[in-house]
Amino acid sequence: MTIFSLNNTQEELTAAFCKAHVEMHGTGDHTLTKEMTAIHEAGHGVIYRLIGIAPFAEITQDHDGYWVGYCGQERGKRMVAKNVIEYMAADIITSMSGYTAEKELTSQYCLSSSGSDKAKAQTATLLLAKFNQLNPNYVFAACQTATDDLINEHSNAVIRLACKLEKEEYLSPDAVCETLRVTPRFSGHVELGTHILKYYVHPTTNNGG
């Protein structure tokens, strides 16, 4: 398991993840495919839909011929959170959801996107752990378990969206929602974050332990 430190920069965390991944799976170049990118973005789409956001999704080829994607609200459109800790917990889950979908549905990662997403989650985990006076490795593992649970629970929705996105390459918010057929469970980032903190990060406290 990666050892976190407040001295690590996001670039260092990305490099550490990529190095560990290459040691385990090879270069990962074969995973830079249209299908894998669609699955990654579909994972993000499920989490956004669960918190009531209707995201758009797109995948395109970059100048090197690799597939890249985006799923979420319009770029630059981001809510200001008053409940910072809860929002941070939810943001970790949304960051984890793309590579988690790849891992759970294909047992592989796409290095081009998963490294940066995982580093973003690790960086936020360091702050969340500091706020809660907990070991960051424990907090990261708890959030990863929560993300695994949500993605596996909605694996059919991930597959539906990935297949449609792979074929059409761009899906409007309405098309994403129609394809996912996922009913929002949380009223937004803060409610999701509250759920994660209560049932995954602090479960013994809430069970009287």
* CATH number, position 54: 1.20.58.760
| Contact of 89 with 51, CB cutoff 8 Å | no
Classify residue 4: in a domain, yes or no: no
Residue-range definition of the domain harbouring residue 128: 10-206
Classify residue 5: in a domain, yes or no: no
Classify residue 146: in a domain, yes or no: yes
Classify residue 198: in a domain, yes or no: yes
Query: SS3 for 99?
Result: helix
| Contact of 12 with 27, CB cutoff 8 Å | no
Classify residue 65: in a domain, yes or no: yes
Classify residue 1: in a domain, yes or no: no
Classify residue 70: in a domain, yes or no: yes
Classify residue 2: in a domain, yes or no: no
Number of domains in the chain: 1
**What pLDDT shows up at residue 65?**
78
Tell me the β-bridge partners of 71: 57
Q: With 60 as the cut, is the pLDDT of residue 126 above it?
A: yes
Q: With 80 as the cut, is the pLDDT of residue 179 above it?
A: yes
**What pLDDT shows up at residue 6?**
52
Per-residue pLDDT averaged across 111-121, rounded? 76
DSSP 80: P
Rounded distance between C-alpha atoms, residue 123 and residue 128, angstroms = 9
Helices 155-168 and 136-153 sit at what angle, rounded to 10 degrees? 80
Residue 62's pLDDT band, with cuts at 50, 70 and 90, is confident
